[in-house]
Amino acid sequence: MKKTIHFLLMAVAFLFTTVIMAQSTIKGTVIDAELNSPLPGANIVEKGTTNGVSSDFNGDFTLTTEASSGEIVISYVGYNSITVAFNGSANLGELKLTPDNSLEEIVITGSGVIDLAENRKTPIAVSTIKANEIRERAGNWDLPEVLKSTPSVQNIKGGGFGDGQMFLRGFDQTNTAFMLNGQPINSPEDGRMFWSNWSGVLDVANAVQVQRGLGSSKLAISSVGGTVNIVTKTVDRREGGFFQQMVANDNYTKTTAYYSTGLMENGWAFSGMLGHWQGEGYVDDTDGQGQTYFLSFGYKPNDNNLFNFLITGAPQWHAAAGSGRISEFLENGRKFNSWNFSGVSSPNLLQSGKYPGGRNVYHKPVANLSWDLTINENSSLSTILYGSLGRGTFAATRTSGDGTPTYARGSNNNHNWYGLVTNYNNQLNENLNLNFGADVRLYNGIHFRSVNEFLTVSRVSAFSDFNGGSYNLTKTFGGINPWNVTFNTNDEHDQRFGYDYEEQINYVGVFGQLEYAKDNFTAFFQGSASTQSHVRTEYLNAANEGQPEESEKVNNPGFNVKAGGAYTINNNNKVFLNVGYYSRQPFHSDLFISDRNGNELIMPEVENQNITGLEAGYQFGGEKISANLNLYYTIWDNRTLLGDNGEDQGDPAFRLFQTQGVKQVHTGVELEVFTRPADNLRVNGFLAIGDWKFDGNGMQRTFDETGTVTDPDTVVDLDGVKVGGAAQFTAGVFASYEILPRLNVDGTWNLYNDLYSQGQTTASSPPIELPSYDTVDAGLSYKWYVGKRDEKSLQFRVNINNVFDEVYLESVSGNTVASNDPSENYKGVNTSNRGRFGYGRTWNFSVRYNF
């Protein structure tokens, strides 16, 4: 009996040992192949079993298998699954998943200067939109429309093609930094963004990342509201391409073709995109057309070097539409175009369709050369050299006293813009990472008026001491063709009139970051210092013939510092805290009394703006649900406000207002939730609640149209005044359901509340509250494989925006309170205020062939 018991015990021990020895421990890190960022919540399952785990915040996982050898399957919604074999315990290292929409894996060039959030272990408030979502939801819209379903983002479509605007945490896009593959693309003069210049970038976008608030950028950029990083395709690893045709409402059509050789055996790669679009525009008389192009040449001579040359541009023209009185829209409908410049009422011009309301004609290509050098396993250097030769004009018809059209006057805004960004990265040891670099920007802005086209006259008379007294303009430049504007540049001062001046804005900065990471704790410190100079050169209004007048040179130093830390509580929970301070140089447009009538500086001198930011966040990641919660507190002090009363055409008492020493305080909370209730269903949502107000007083001065100060410094009480332009309460839900394999339906609901008007306001005459509104968008897509799976396919996509044709006020400029007469109000807003209604129901349909 005793021997039997011993035998049984030995047998059990043997079996137990066999089971233990049959098991294996598999470790690895799941990452996005395109952005090289971790994928938390990825599923890792032992093939043929239900045994599995999910990756943590850093993409790491540990799986104890039931067998000593076999295969594991790694999957993530929106990505291609991969199967990896194992034989015994092992650390599989990085396991890359590619988005299921991508042609092949992308090589990101200039990666060291593209400040994506994933490149830093300490988190920030961030939302990333991948290529598949961009392609499906963009349709024929600009980038702000794609971003509207991220927290604290609001999109204003505007009147014509490319005239949209974006607000982030209540700050307009002049105070949000936009980056294209690591280079700044806001205007150096005033921070503005012109989306018509980037109408083709979404066709080749690999990802767009919205970093709210402080962000992870190391550059000294205008990121009061945040930073938007646009990462395009550069070098594809394998050959492929696509051809796409799109049609939409109001006779819109767009044709796009893209091809990439992939990374060839000789180390070279080429990719290119060409496109053409045209349409009548949703708003009356806002037709437009243009081309888009993108060319990229890559060369990888060895594993340590990667070079890439890229050039992209979007030559286009589009008719313009401005705001109008609300009463005018109620009388004429949402498509009403209120802009009625001199000559637009002429039947001949309306029939010719040449200059209704004026036309924007621009071509501002951007080129860059990047070099990624891997020095050794711990250090690397990334450098981008970029340049842009932009040419463009706003052409509007001028008339004689009897209303006869005489000529088209062009208001030209040209630039020569060059820059360099370089960054050195060194992994000092297991816990410390250091990088530092330089940022140089050289900008020459060229502004003047000239004749774009003679209509019923052959010359225009003008007077200027610089041009010798009276003189005649007899030459035309550009017309309404962007290619003519590009190659038929007016370099003759005696063929300019109205205004003629240039500005030179030079910027030099250095930056650095040190990050510490050990176990569950990470911390970072960033800093940058810069100097920016401004010189304005006057030609037309110079006192002596042929002798331009140069302004006093203005030099402004600036800096920023940022620091933060994060703690990973466990695989599913992480918290972080970041703080930052910016001393930001004023815009060029804030320094001079008039942009058009002299070089006189504003005194007292406009000083640096001071921005203080504090952010805290919590991240939760699980297999079926993940969430991000962010709190922010931003103080924007000593800012300058510019405004005018020139909305009404022909107003003889035009006034320009400049208010210095203004302080704004923006606080808020943001929540993003991502869920996967089932394998074929995704439901995401967000909620953003803000409280954006002015604090204290400002000092205002008033100028007439010649730049003369008409009113001395006046104290303006702004304390407690709401910041207008963007809704301070927004919410949204996005759902996508796979009805059948590769047949998906999706819908988006967005709510906007607590929205206020813009314009000249004070505590005694505050902005008016606008009615809340919500919109619903819907889409349907189908992917049909042609031939071998994943190599060739046809993709069909239809979008319907504002499905229920919601009528809403998109933006209002003015603060006239509601009238006692109900007929003079619209949903509580006085109809004498100026603004724009949002677009009604629109649609687009596209067919795309991938090969």
Q: Is residue 222 part of a domain?
A: no
Domain CATH code at residue 318: 2.40.170.20
Domain membership of residue 193 (yes or no) is no
pLDDT for the residue 326: 93
φ, ψ for residue 271 (rounded to 5)? -140, 145
Distance, CA of 165 to CA of 506 (rounded, Å):
27
Q: Is 111 inside a domain boundary? A: no
233 vs 569, which has greater pLDDT?
569
- The mean predicted confidence, pLDDT, of the chain is 85
Q: Does the pLDDT of residue 344 top 50, yes or no?
A: no
Number of DSSP helices (H) and strands (E) in the chain, helices first: 6, 53
* Confidence category of residue 14, pLDDT binned at 50, 70, 90: very low
Q: How far is CA 628 from CA 39, 208, 479, 620, 687, in A?
A: 15, 18, 51, 6, 11
Please state the rounded mean pLDDT for residues 336-364.
60
- How far apart, in Å, do the first and last CA atoms of the chain sit? 74
> 241 is written with which tokens?
């391409």
* Cis preceding-peptide flag for 677 (omega within 30 of 0): no
Pairwise pLDDT comparison (346 vs 450), residue with the higher score: 450
Band of residue 21 on the pLDDT scale cut at 50, 70, 90: very low
Question: How many domains does the structure of the chain reveal?
Answer: 2
Find all residues with CB under 8 Å of 169, minimum gap 6, and list them: 152, 212, 213, 225, 226, 632, 634, 666, 668, 690, 692
DSSP code of residue 490? -
Give the pLDDT band of residue 347 (cuts 50, 70, 90): very low
Tokens 């180390």, located at residue: 267
What one-character-per-residue DSSP string does 460-487 give?
EEEEETTTTEEEEE-----TT-HHHHHH
> Which residues are 54's β-sheet partners?
43
Q: For position 789, what pLDDT does the model report?
A: 56
Question: Please, how many CA atoms are within 13 Å of residue 597, restricted to the half-sphere of its CB?
Answer: 9
3-state helix, strand, coil in the chain (%, to 5): 10, 55, 35
Mean pLDDT of 697-723: 81
**41 located within any domain:** yes
Residue at 650: amino acid letter: G
Identify the band that residue 842 occupies on the pLDDT scale cut at 50, 70 and 90: very high
> Of 447-461, 533-547, 634-648, which gets the smallest average pLDDT?
634-648
Examine residue 196 and state whether it is found in any structural domain, yes or no.
Answer: no
Q: Is the pLDDT of residue 537 over 60?
A: yes
- Two structure tokens written together for 772: 């809340």
DSSP category for residue 138: H
* Rounded Cα distance, 679 and 756, in Å: 41
Q: Is a pLDDT exceeding 70 seen at residue 306? A: yes
- Our CA angle for 380, 381, 382, nearest 5°, is 125
Q: Which H helix or E strand runs over 644?
A: strand 625-644
Tally of residues, the chain? 851
Residue 753 is which amino acid?
N
Mean pLDDT, rounded, for 807-815: 92
Q: Where are the beta strands (DSSP E) in 622-718?
A: 625-644, 656-678, 681-694, 697-703, 709-717
User: Residue 247 — pLDDT band, cuts 50, 70, 90?
Assistant: very high
- Return the number of other C-beta atoms located less than 10 Å from residue 751's C-beta: 15
The closest of 641, 640, 631, 642 to 666, measured between CA atoms, is 631
Per the domain annotation, does 394 fall within a domain?
Answer: yes
d(CA 692, CA 668): 8
Please provide the DSSP assignment of 65-93 as one string. Answer: -SSSEEEEEEE-TTB--EEEEEESSEEEE
pLDDT in tens, 756-778: 998 878 888 899 999 999 999 99
How would residue 408 be classed by pLDDT, with cut points 50, 70 and 90?
Answer: confident
In angstroms, how far is CA 310 from the centroid of its own chain? Answer: 19
- Lowest pLDDT segment from 35-44, 101-110, 304-313, 459-468: 101-110
Note whether residue 728 is domain-resident: yes
Domain range for 39 is 2-97
The last residue of a domain, from among 97, 116, 131: 97
CA distance 174 to 171: 8
Between 397 and 495, name the one with better pLDDT. Answer: 495
**832 DSSP 8-state letter:** T
* 214-223, 403-412, 663-672, 693-702: segment of lowest average pLDDT: 214-223
Residue 51: other Cβ atoms inside 10 A: 15
**What pLDDT score was predicted for residue 111?**
63
Beta strands per DSSP E along 76-143: 82-87, 90-97, 106-107, 126-130
Pick the last residue of a domain from 97, 119, 140: 97
Q: Distance between CA atoms of 737 and 624, rounded to whole angstroms?
A: 15
Which pLDDT belongs to residue 6?
54
What is the predicted pLDDT for the residue at 100?
Answer: 53
Q: Burial letters for 276-304: b for 16+ Cβ neighbours within 10 Å, e otherwise?
A: ebbbebbbbbbbbbbbbbbebbbbbeeee
- Which of 339-353, 358-372, 396-410, 414-428 shows the lowest mean pLDDT across its residues? 339-353
Q: Which of 54-58, 80-84, 692-696 has the lowest mean pLDDT?
A: 54-58
Question: Burial, 535: exposed, middle or buried (Cβ in 10 Å; 0-12, 13-18, 19+)?
Answer: middle
Q: Please say if the pLDDT value at position 255 is more than 70.
A: yes
Lowest-confidence region among 5-9, 256-260, 549-553: 5-9
The rounded distance, in Å, linking the Cα atoms of 591 and 441 is: 19
Domain-located, residue 151: no
Q: Which of 30-34, 348-352, 542-546 has the highest mean pLDDT?
A: 542-546
- Asked if 840 and 799 touch (Cβ cutoff 8 Å), the reply is no
Q: What angle do CA 782, 788, 790 make, to 5 degrees?
A: 50
Better pLDDT: 137 or 385? 385
Q: Strands 90-97 and 25-32, how do they pair?
A: parallel
* pLDDT higher than threshold 60 for residue 144: yes
Nearest to 225 by CA among 266, 259, 263, 178: 178
Report whether pLDDT(801) > 80.
yes
Specify whether the CB–CB gap between 211 and 227 falls below 8 A.
Answer: yes
511 closest CA partner among 441, 420, 438, 433: 438
- Rounded CA-CA distance 206/274 in Å is 17
Domain of 34, CATH number, reads: 2.60.40.10
Which among 97, 118, 141 is the end of a domain? 97
